[in-house]
Amino acid sequence: MYVVTSTFVVPSEKAQEVIEIYKKRSRKVDQQPGFLRFQLLQNAKKLGEISVYMEWDTKVSYLQWVRSQQFKDIHELEKHYPDQELAGIIPTIHQYEVVAT
């Protein structure tokens, strides 16, 4: 299994706005071959720290998603988000190979 996290920090007063955006996400990734799970995580102490957590069957499946037109389309929309403070946030990406369960 392959796990990818994308963590970003927003002003804490905008955290709920970001959460609502993700609740209404397109779910296109859900149909991608090899996709297993999506979760949106909020740091319990730093409410503005939010992480997207995704599980994939393999690294290859994840990379196929990242190279897909659907991925590009979704991330292009983010650049045009009306709140420029949120649109300019660059996440920190971490990728993990699951080595034991």
pLDDT value of residue 21: 87
The SS3 of residue 87 is helix
pLDDT value of residue 98: 97
Residue (of 62, 17, 77, 25) closest to 42 by Cα position: 17
pTM: 0.88
Sheet strands side by side (includes 49-56): 35-42, 49-56, 2-9, 92-97
- Residue 18 pLDDT greater than 70, yes or no: yes
Residues 43-58 have a mean pLDDT of 97
Cα–Cα distance measured from residue 88 to residue 12, given in angstroms and rounded to the nearest whole number: 16
- Residue 15 pLDDT greater than 90, yes or no: yes
- Residue 87 pLDDT greater than 80, yes or no: no
Residue (of 13, 59, 22, 57) closest to 41 by Cα position: 22
Residues 66-95 have a mean pLDDT of 80
Residue (of 79, 80, 5, 83) closest to 49 by Cα position: 5
Domain regions of the chain by residue span: 2-97
Beta strand extents in the chain (DSSP E only): 2-9, 35-42, 49-56, 92-97
Residues 34-58 have a mean pLDDT of 97
Decide which of 99 and 28 is more confident. Answer: 99
The CATH architecture of the domain made up of 2-97 is 2-Layer Sandwich (3.30)
- Residue 72 pLDDT greater than 90, yes or no: no
